[in-house]
Structure 1
Amino acid sequence: MRKTLITKKSIAFITSLFLAITLFSAFPIIGYAADNGKTFDIIEVTDFHGTLKDSSGNPVAGVLADRIENVKKSNPDRTLIIGGGDLYQGSAVSNIMKGVPVQQVMSKVGMEVTALGNHEFDWGLDTTIDTTMKGAAYSIVCSNLYDKTGKRVFEPYKIITKDGVKIAIIGGITLETETSVSPKYVKDYEFKDLANEINSVAAQIKKDKLADVTIALVHEGDKGDNATGPVFDLANKLQNVDAVFGGHSHTKTAAIATTTKIPVYIGASNGKGYIDAKFNITSDKKIAFEAPKLDTSYVALDNEKGYKAVVKQTDINVDKIVNDANKLIDPITSEVIGYNTDKELTRKLNNTPYGSSVLGNWASDVTKDAVRADVGFQNNGGLRIDIPQGNITVGTMWQFMPFDNTLYKLKMTKAQIKEVLEQAVADNSKGLQVSGINFTYDSKLPTGQRVKDITRENGRTIKDNEMLTVAVPDFVAQGGDSFTAFTKYGGLDVKNDTHVVVRDALIDWCKYNKNRNGNNTITNKDVPRMVNLSGAVSNLIQKAA
Structure 2
Amino acid sequence: MNLALPRLRRAMMLTPIALAAALVACGGSDDNDTPAQQPLALTIAHINDHHSNLDAFAAQTMKIGGVDTQVELGGFARVTQAFKAYEGRDDVLKLHAGDANTGTLYYTLFKGQADADLMNTICFDAMAAGNHEFDDGDAQFKSFIDRLHAGACQTPVLAANIKPQVGTPLAPKAADDYLKPYTIKTVKGVQVGIIGLTVKGKTQNSSSPLATTVFEDEAVAAQRIIDQLKGQGVKHIVLLTHIGYQADKALAARLTDVDAIIGGDSHTLLGDFSHLGSGYAAAGAYPTQAVNKDDKPVCIGQAWEYSKAIGEMRVSFNDQGEVTACGGQAALVIGDSFKRQDAEGKWAAVDAATQQQIVAAVNADPSLKMLTADAGAASVLKAYSGQVDELKKQTIGTVTEALCLVRTPGHTTNRSAGTPGCEDANKLARGSDIAQVVAQSFLSASLRADIAIQNAGGVRVPVKAGPITMGDAFTVLPFTNVLVELPLTGAQVAAVLEDAVAAYLDAGQAEGGGHPYAAGLRWHLDMSQAKGARFTQIEVKDRATGNWSAIDPAKTYIVATNDFIAKGQDGYATFKPIYDSGNYVNNYLLYTQTFVDYIRAQGTVSRPAAGEYSHQSVITKDGTKLP
**Contact 2:134–2:203 (CA<8 Å) still a contact in 1?**
no
Q: Deviations over 1:388-430 (max 9, x none)?
A: 1222111111221122111121112222212213324544564
Residue matched to 2:86: 71
Give the structure 2 partner of residue 526 of structure 1: 610
Which residue number in structure 1 is paired with residue 254 of structure 2?
Answer: 237
For residues 120 and 400 of structure 1, the distance between their equivalents in structure 2, rounded to whole angstroms, comes to: 18
State the alpha-carbon separation in 1 of the partners of residues 211 and 161 from structure 2: 15
Q: How much identity, in percent, do the aligned residues show?
A: 21
Partner of 1:369: 444
2:378 alignment partner AA? D
Mapped contact 1:39–1:78 kept (Cα < 8 A): yes
User: Unmatched 5+ residue regions in structure 1?
Assistant: 1-34, 223-228, 515-519, 540-545
CA contact (8 A) 2:46 2:310 kept: yes
Post-superposition offset of 1:280: 4.5
* Structure 2 unaligned residues grouped into runs of 5+: 1-36, 60-71, 167-173, 271-285, 336-357, 411-426, 507-511, 542-546
Instruction: Report the count of equivalent residues.
Output: 485
What is the one-letter code of the residue matched to 1:91? T
Deviations 1:135-177 (A, max 9, x none): 4321211111123579567221112234433222111111232
| Aligned residue number for residue 417 of structure 1 | 493
Residue from 596, 600, 607 that aligns with 1:511: 600
Which one of 302, 313, 316 corresponds to residue 266 of structure 1? 302
- Distance in 2 between residues matched to 1:290 and 1:302, nearest whole Å: 29
Equivalent residue, structure 2, for 1:127 = 140
Q: TM-score, normalised by structure 1?
A: 0.80
Contact 1:409–1:472 (Cα < 8 Å) also in 2: yes
Partner of 2:288: 255
> Does the Cα contact within 8 Å between 1:408 and 1:491 map onto a contact in 2?
no
The answer to whether residue 402 in structure 2 is matched with residue 317 in structure 1 is: no
Change (3 A) 1:289 1:88: farther
SS where residue 98 of structure 2 aligns?
coil
Query: Aligned in 2, Cα 1:459/1:186: closer, same or farther, shift over 3 Å?
Result: same
- Does residue 191 (structure 1) correspond to residue 215 (structure 2)? The answer is yes
Matched, 1:477 2:477: no
Q: Out of 52, 55, 62, which is 1:53 matched to?
A: 55
Q: Does 1:291 align with 2:326?
A: yes
In the TM superposition, residue 240 of structure 1 has moved relative to its aligned partner by 2.8
Q: Structure 1 residues 289 and 497 mapped into 2: Cα distance closer, same or farther (>3 Å)? A: farther
* Letter in structure 2 aligned against 1:50: S
Aligned to 1:89: 102
- Specify the alignment match of 2:45 in structure 1: 43
Q: Post-superposition shift, 1:441?
A: 4.8
Residue 27 (structure 1) aligns with? none
Tell me the equivalent position of 1:400.
476
> Residue 255 of structure 1 aligns to which amino acid in structure 2?
T
- TM-fit CA distance, 1:321: 1.5
* Two-structure CA RMSD over aligned residues (Å): 3.2
C-alpha displacement at 1:134, in angstroms? Answer: 2.0
8 Å contact from structure 1 (residues 443, 532) kept in 2: no
**1:167 aligns with one of 168, 192, 210:** 192
SS of the equivalent of 1:176 reads helix
1:340 counterpart residue number: 399
Cα shift at 1:502 = 0.8
Distance 1:526 1:135, change over 3 A: closer
| Alignment TM-score, normalising by the size of structure 2 | 0.70
CA distance in 2, matches of 1:445, 1:162: 50
**Quick check: 148-157 or 357-366, which moved more?**
148-157
- Helix, strand or coil for the counterpart of 1:505? helix
Counterparts of 2:405 and 2:316, CA distance in 1: 44
Pair 1:139–1:195, CA change in 2 (3 A) = same
Residue number in structure 2 paired with 1:542 = none
* Structure-2 change in CA distance of 1:122 and 1:315 (3 Å): same
SS at match of 1:324: helix
Residue number in structure 2 paired with 1:499: 588
Cα drift, residue 487 of structure 1: 1.0
Bigger Rg, which one: 1
CA distance in structure 2 between the partners assigned to 1:447 and 1:286 by the alignment? 45
Instruction: Decide whether the 8 Å contact of 2:456 with 2:517 is kept in 1.
Output: yes
